[in-house]
Chains A and B, each alone.
Chain A
């Protein structure tokens, strides 16, 4: 008998709509709106886009080496031609 009453009470309580305390909905909404959405990046994109300056330095070193080979190490002539 007690079990039946308890079951009835449980069913009745389940019918009552759950209302969150005042202000909780607003706080959740604000948090979702202000959440930073990070784009999904491939490893290559991550290398180039998270720190472009570092990526540029990493590329410049072998590129300078190639230039060294192409110009025979005559960087003074190369720069003078570029500047003037």
Chain B
């Protein structure tokens, strides 16, 4: 599993394809679950433990559960949308192939959750140093661009879209992703899980 995650980072062409590789779906689900748990459960708990003496805060267990569930559902909804579009264009790709590849694109999300959580819990890291703040901003941009490239990888090598199909899928995805991000924000998800 860690081998697949490693290849998803350093040699993504090996894993973003239509091949039925054993363990890829497991690695994909693990990546999504890790991002969801870190963002919805671990980060709020650590934030509470660090700040409970300073502010009047409480743990919102219901909100944490809602965030966790919505994170998982968001991933499934994105996979279903991409798979349905692939089927609409008569592509020979199964839901499992889409889900296993799209889940691996959550590695930047996972790192973004870690970075966001770190800056939220320890704001002193960047406050006082404009240079460090610039470095952290650059890291956010790296993760954003990386995620976008993974999306294009999926469209090119898993869904195998032509230029016209690519434009349609991207336009539909933009709307669906915006709706999913809004729903996630309503459930308290700070880092988008699409």
Chain A interface (Cβ within 8 Å of chain B)? 38-39, 45, 48-53, 55-57, 59-61, 63-64, 67-68, 73-76, 78-80, 82-84
In the assembly, what is the distance between CA of A53 and CA of B127, in Å? 27
Choose among B134, B139, B143, B149 the residue that contacts A68 (Cβ–Cβ < 8 A): B134
The stretch of B5-13, B29-37, B56-64 that contacts the partner chain = B5-13
B119 part of interface (Cβ distance < 8 Å): yes
Q: Please give, as numbers and ranges, the residues of chain A lying within 8 Å of B137 by CB-CB distance.
A: 64, 67, 75, 78-79
Are the C-beta atoms of B141 and A52 separated by less than 8 Å? no
Q: What are 21 contact pairs spanning A and B, CB under 8 A? A: A39-B13, A48-B152, A50-B11, A52-B12, A52-B149, A55-B145, A55-B149, A56-B143, A56-B146, A56-B149, A59-B141, A61-B138, A63-B145, A64-B138, A73-B130, A75-B134, A76-B127, A76-B129, A78-B137, A80-B127, A84-B120
Size of the B side of the interface (Cβ < 8 Å), in residues, is 32
* Interface SS, A side: helix
Q: Please give, as numbers and ranges, the residues of chain A lying within 8 Å of B177 by CB-CB distance.
A: none
Choose among B140, B143, B146 the residue that contacts A82 (Cβ–Cβ < 8 A): B140
Nearest-neighbor residue (CB-CB) of B139 within chain A = A60
Q: Please give, as numbers and ranges, the residues of chain B lying within 8 Å of A74 by CB-CB distance.
A: 130
Are the C-beta atoms of B145 and A39 separated by less than 8 Å? no
Are the C-beta atoms of A56 and B145 separated by less than 8 Å? yes
Nearest-neighbor residue (CB-CB) of B133 within chain A = A75
Return A13 CB to nearest CB of chain B, in Å.
45
In the assembly, what is the distance between CA of A76 and CA of B12, in Å? 34
Return B161 CB to nearest CB of chain A, in Å.
14
B48 part of interface (Cβ distance < 8 Å): no
Choose among A38, A60, A76 the residue that contacts B126 (Cβ–Cβ < 8 A): A76
B53 part of interface (Cβ distance < 8 Å): no
Choose among A53, A64, A84 the residue that contacts B146 (Cβ–Cβ < 8 A): A53
Q: Please give, as numbers and ranges, the residues of chain B lying within 8 Å of A80 by CB-CB distance.
A: 123, 127
Which of B120, B126, B136, B137 has the most chain A CB atoms closer than 10 A to its own CB? B137
B116 part of interface (Cβ distance < 8 Å): yes
Are the C-beta atoms of B141 and A60 separated by less than 8 Å? yes
Are the C-beta atoms of B130 and A64 separated by less than 8 Å? no
Return B122 CB to nearest CB of chain A, in Å.
11
Nearest-neighbor residue (CB-CB) of B10 within chain A = A51
Q: Please give, as numbers and ranges, the residues of chain B lying within 8 Å of A63 by CB-CB distance.
A: 138, 141, 145
Q: A50-B13, A52-B12, A60-B142 are in contact. Are A79 and B153 (CB under 8 A)?
A: no
